[in-house]
A and B are shown apart, each in its own frame.
Chain A
Amino acid sequence: MDNNKVLALNIKTATLGKQPHLPGDLAMWFFILAELTVFAIFFLGFAVTRQLYPDMFLRGQAYLHPVAGGINTIALISSSCLVALSLNAIKQLRRDYAAALLGGAMLMASVYLGVKSWEYSQLLHLGFGLSTNTYFTLYFFITAFHFMHVILGMIILGFMAVKTKNGGYQGASLSGFEAGACYWHMVDLVWIILFPLLYVIN
C-alpha cells in the first residue's frame, strides 16, 4: 500500500471514531425483538377490533382514568431517564451515583405499579373484568401482560443496582448493564405506544 493510501485510511479511521457498538448482548436483543413483535400483534389487534366495535370501545374507554394513564406515562419515562443516567454514570466510574439512580428508577416503576393496581381495583369494583366484553378482555390482557414485564424489569433493575453498588461492573464489560437497561427502555417504549391507544385517542 502506498503512503497516500495509508494516510487516507488513517484519516478515515480517525474521523469515523469508534466502531459501531450494539449495547448489551445479542440474546437480549432477540428477546426484545420477540417481545416487541408480540406487543405489535396486540396493538394491531386492538386497533382493528376498535374499528369493528367502535361504540363498545368508546363506552369502555369512558371508564378509564386518563390522569392515571398520564401519571403512569410520566413515571415510566422518568424511570427510563434515570436508567439512562445510571448507565452514563457507571461509564463515568460513579458507581454509588449509578446505584442510586437505579434505585430512583425502581421507585418510579413502583409508582406505575401502584397507579395501575389502583386502576384495576376501580374497574373490578365496578364489575368489569376479563370476560365483560371484548374491549375489557383486550384492555386487561394487554395491560396485565405489560404489567408483568414491568415487574420483571424491576427485578432486573434491582439485580443491577445491587451489583453496581458492590462494584460488579467496575473494570468489567458493561454488556450486562446495557442489556438490562435496554430491556427497561423496551418496556417504556411499549407503554409509550399503548398510552395513546388506550387513553388518548377517542
Chain B
Amino acid sequence: MVNHQGLILRVYLYLIILTLTSAYIGSIDNVYLQGMEGVAVTGILTLTLLKGLQIVDVYMELKQAPRLWRNLLRAYVVLLPFTIGMIYILF
C-alpha cells in the first residue's frame, strides 16, 4: 500500500501557511486598505476555498472517489465562500 505520509504533511504545512496568511490579511488596519476592503475579503475567502479543496481532495481522500461525490464536496467549498464573498462585497 502506497505511503501518503509525505503528502499529508505537505498539505498540513500548506493549510497552516494559508491560515496564517488569511489571519495576517484580516489584521491589516482598514486605514491601510483604503477602499481595498473588497480585495482583502476576496483574498481571505479565496484562501479559505483553497484550504477546503485540500481537505476534500487529500484528507477526505475524495480525489480517488467517484466523480459525483468529489464534485459535490468541491462545489460546496467553492460555492459557499464565493456566495459569502458576493454577499459581503455587493450588498
Contact = CB atoms under 8 A, between A and B. Distances in A.
Main secondary structure, interface of B, reads: helix
A44 B65 contact: no
Given A51-B87, A73-B19, A77-B19, A43 B80 contact: yes
A119 B3 CA distance: 39
Interface in B1-23: 1, 3-5, 8-9, 11-12, 15-16, 19, 22-23
Contacts of A36: 76
Nearest to A88: B4
Contacts of B67: 20
B51 A192 contact: yes
Nearest to B45: A196
Given A85-B5, A178-B61, 10 more contacts: A21-B65, A29-B69, A40-B80, A43-B84, A47-B84, A47-B87, A48-B87, A78-B12, A181-B59, A202-B26
Interface of A: 18, 20-23, 29, 33, 36, 40, 43-44, 47-48, 50-51, 66, 70, 73-74, 77-78, 80-81, 83-85, 87-88, 91-92, 178, 181-182, 185-186, 188-189, 192-193, 195-197, 199-202
17 contacts: A23-B62, A33-B72, A43-B84, A47-B87, A74-B16, A77-B12, A80-B59, A87-B61, A178-B61, A185-B60, A186-B60, A195-B19, A196-B22, A196-B48, A199-B23, A200-B25, A201-B88
A92 B3 CA distance: 7
